[in-house]
Structure 1
């Protein structure tokens, strides 16, 4: 199987799993927001999850990503080291989890008071279990990525999403409210983690014959490489979660609900880009190790162009239909999420680029440079949130996210260019043509938007935009329908 076929196969598996995960997430979001929880309860749930994400980064550090990088490398050169690497990383994780979860269990009440909401204490207590099970859920997915066995990563993700939906809804219906929804997350992630670790042990750990000696300095290098990855992950949490926490600190649970809903919709839209980035990134490590940088450049440029072909029009269309979409699907109580979603549409384009680029830089050995960039922009994001949220509300948090992420994307692209010598002129011409297609599609959607009075009309407007986009994409020669059919088939 050649590289292109391997990527397509991995992308299909990851996209199907991501589709299951995001569909379950969308159903959970819809059922909780529309029927089971009011904005205050919805906001309390996801405010807690934002806090737990900050806690979890201290427990996970960068060990999983560091393992994936060295597994990708040593799977080609010295497979006997892989069992040693797995044992080392698991021992590191258990030690970190013991310290962090022990501290959370001892001080959850004080943390809730410090953050200004003593009622959050039961959520943080349950969060001890959340942190443990989600840590191993994510770890198994990343480990399979390092082995370039993306079907298993996909399966873990799909299982976690589906079971989380089932148990969260069940526990809320049993009368446990938002806390029940959090316990549903715990059970779902526990099932996914159990599956992932079982497969990792029997299908990978036990199939490698351990080398007689652990390569001198390898465990140290693994730990050292986890440092910039930890910095990057910490900065990612600041970008993705600390703003939610700060909205809860400065504003109300309902404001958290509006902001969270906007971000969850962007996550749903970004699923294909995340799947593609997760799929292609291990190939960069393999190709750098074998000196095939031209092939790596071709993969990256093609992936970036086709991603922008989807996401620039998608983000534009979302801005146009945001108001009827939010109010008709989730109810008028969530109208405060409309301006948040419109601003975060810009973040969708930026994050699509990041999803393609970030993991790829790790596999290219540029994790340290990316960590510096991420740390700087995350600090700026934190400062802007503190400045803008009290004065502008949830819209300020969205603006801070878009501004700082723009800088991060530019730096990432520059680092990729240094590694792969991207053909900038060719990429610029492609983006210009994509923007032209987007403008024509936007005109078509804008003409029918005033007529939207129900969900059927909303779907018709979205369908019109999609058909206009598809016709222009084919007419421009961007996509060959026969090639698309051959890939799908």
Structure 2
């Protein structure tokens, strides 16, 4: 099972980087929420949500396409990059115009508009940096992008804390993000020129249509992913108010910071399942089902723990002023469990060259999410938005599973799925009984109960133990040596 061992090691590497970036961002989010209060935090969260929906149009698959083109023709990097840079600039200017138009159309006040404009400039600059990082990935020099990403997160956190402690508020915070992104852009551009290529601005207009067409095939799915994931905050801001956006995002950010796990596992798994789809379907099935099993066994108890411990978690992180956020966290936690399953099924569809299925599924889910929010938010506020998010995720899991069955194969999932549900339920009841005593004791107690239940249900077979033995250090995995 060397292949699964490689997946685990690759996942650990990716997880460490993404976890560090997410934790730095999350520390700032917690401080912002506590320092500014629900209304100003809601303004900041709204601006981020709106921009995450709009700024994706400044890319439209250019970064992914550039990775592929550079990997195939490294000698022609300067010529390739010229056309990508030119189109990126066109996309960026158009997106900036859309940001200004949408913000004015929605009728927000001057402070909110300035927050969106400043943060929008920061996001667009960062998007440009992402295009240059694609060159590093095309040359398989991921360390440059990783170091720069961590550095950017450190700068955002440092500048943000200094600005907020100095009393400059949410507008000052946005300027700090802009400053960090400018530094990140300059450093990325310097490394690109010093280590990879000098950019000559000679355009090849005959290549532009190819880049636009192929880039859209890569990027349209991301557009609908962002709509599905972030439109609820925008709708809450107009239909209810900024304070509610703050309460909702306080809970949602806890879930988001944990969603790096399914993403990292999917990234690590993709090259392997894609290769085995062409060369060895049986091995592909074996790797996929084992990875899905571990994803479910990790995702379900995490969601259960968040739901049961929502009140003490919100109280510890955000304070008593955000007590209302606990209700949202109890519901949103289940998107975490479902995202593990969705990531695995989506990865398998991409490995089988069925990317369009993923895009179609996201179009459907984005539309359904908007409709459900329109129905639920007026009556139930951020609780309605939370329910809409979970129900849409259920639909996405159903659609992706159906597509996998139709286009790839019928995976065996019932056995470990039932064990994960039963184990998580037993763990949840045990943790509920002790949650009033200590949050720090409840978590290890819950993990212990969950593992005991899984062992009692004989969830792990000989192959699982062999994989564990391979992952452990030699002195641990080989008794007597």
For Structure 1 versus Structure 2, the TM-score category normalised by the shorter chain is: 0.7 to 0.9
1:196 deviation in Å? Answer: 4.6
- Does residue 159 (structure 1) correspond to residue 151 (structure 2)? The answer is yes
- Does residue 433 (structure 1) correspond to residue 397 (structure 2)? The answer is no
The equivalent of 1:210 in structure 2 is none
Q: 1:201 to 1:277 in 2, by over 3 A?
A: farther
The equivalent of 1:291 in structure 2 is 279
The equivalent of 1:61 in structure 2 is 60
- Does residue 11 (structure 1) correspond to residue 6 (structure 2)? The answer is no
Per-residue deviation, residues 149-207 of structure 1 (Å, max 9, x unmatched): 5544543432332221111111222322011222222233344444455555655668x
8 Å Cα contact 1:232/1:370 also seen in 2: yes
8 Å Cα contact 1:437/1:472 also seen in 2: yes
SS of residue matched to 1:116: coil
Q: 1:399 to 1:219 in 2, by over 3 A?
A: same
Q: How does 1:78-477 map to 2 (within 5 A)?
A: 85-102=80-97, 104=99, 107=100, 111-112=103-104, 114-140=106-132, 150-199=142-191, 222-288=211-277, 291-358=279-346, 361-362=349-350, 364-422=352-410, 424-425=411-412, 427-449=413-435, 451-452=436-437, 457-473=438-454, 476=458
8 Å Cα contact 1:293/1:420 also seen in 2: no
Measure the CA separation in 2 of the matches of 1:137 and 1:342. Answer: 37
1:231 deviation in Å? Answer: 2.5
1:25 deviation in Å? Answer: 1.9
Using the TM superposition, name which of 58-67 and 145-154 deviates more: 145-154
SS of residue matched to 2:265: helix
Per-residue deviation, residues 445-471 of structure 1 (Å, max 9, x unmatched): 12212x33xxxx111111211222234
8 Å Cα contact 1:236/1:378 also seen in 2: yes
**TM-score for the superposition, normalised by structure 1:** 0.84
The equivalent of 2:201 in structure 1 is none
1:89 deviation in Å? Answer: 3.0
1:92 deviation in Å? Answer: 2.1
Measure the CA separation in 1 of the matches of 2:362 and 2:168. Answer: 38
1:323 deviation in Å? Answer: 1.4
- Structure 1 alignment gaps of length 5 or more: 207-213
- Structure 2 alignment gaps of length 5 or more: 199-203
Measure the CA separation in 2 of the matches of 1:253 and 1:184. Answer: 22
SS of residue matched to 1:235: helix
Per-residue deviation, residues 39-98 of structure 1 (Å, max 9, x unmatched): 1111111111112122202211122233345566x4xxx665666554443332122112
8 Å Cα contact 1:280/1:360 also seen in 2: no
**TM-score for the superposition, normalised by structure 2:** 0.86
8 Å Cα contact 2:36/2:169 also seen in 1: yes
- Superposition RMSD in Å: 3.1
Measure the CA separation in 1 of the matches of 2:82 and 2:282. Answer: 35
The alignment of Structure 1 onto Structure 2 pairs a total of residues equal to 464
Measure the CA separation in 2 of the matches of 1:152 and 1:413. Answer: 36
Using the TM superposition, name which of 362-371 and 470-479 deviates more: 470-479
8 Å Cα contact 1:169/1:184 also seen in 2: no
The equivalent of 2:469 in structure 1 is 482
Using the TM superposition, name which of 225-234 and 339-348 deviates more: 225-234
8 Å Cα contact 1:140/1:197 also seen in 2: yes
